[in-house]
Amino acid sequence: MYAGIDECGRGALAGPVVAAAVVWNPDVPPNGIKDSKKLSAKKRQELAKYIREHALDYAVSFVNSEVIDNKNILQATFDAMHDCVSQIEQRNSNRLEHLFVDGNCFRPFTNIPHTCIVQGDNVRTDIAAASILAKVSRDEHMDRLPMAVEYDFVHNKGYGTAKHLAAIQTHGLSSEHRRSFRLKNVYLQ
């Protein structure tokens, strides 16, 4: 079994980093699965449902802003990715043979071989499927947060838009904001 792995939320100012891993069924057509950034929100939702129904297995993992601040965003991302792999391995008697990771680096996980692929979500269906699940899961989480309206998370998903930055200056930081991230015009502490 091969798993594709991707993440969402590394560059956000608030909210978790979310990783997903997908073991794609090679007998099922990709049906338009591609990099989540190239899809509308509606299409991502449709494809996330398709992926959940047709993947051989998948996992999603969230790492919150407190852990991001304590470890750093890269290590928190690796932790989320490792958790996804652990979830899949716990459910399957067949050990994962190889991990295909979107990006240029990965902290090795046990003795499972891995390959990093820059823009892998444009190359492999399993990585693209993981990018969709990570993005949809994170977006849904951000929309449900109690402070979503106040910080406009429904539109910015925690990224540094002008409206979000203005909300930080007006309301200060919420419990979801990453205190270790610094901005040119807004100091987060």
Any domain includes 102:
yes
Query: pTM score, two decimals?
Result: 0.94
Any domain includes 67:
yes
Instruction: Tell me the CATH number at 129.
Output: 3.30.420.10
Count of domains observed in the chain: 1
Whether the CA torsion 114, 132, 154, 11 is positive or negative: it is positive
pLDDT in tens, 97-108: 999 999 999 998
Following DSSP, what letter does each residue of 9-32 receive, concatenated?
-TT-SBS-EEEEEEE--TTS--TT
One-letter amino acid of 133:
L
Q: Which domain holds residue 8?
A: 2-144
Any domain includes 82:
yes
pLDDT in tens, 113-169: 999 999 999 999 999 999 999 999 999 999 999 999 999 999 999 999 999 999 999
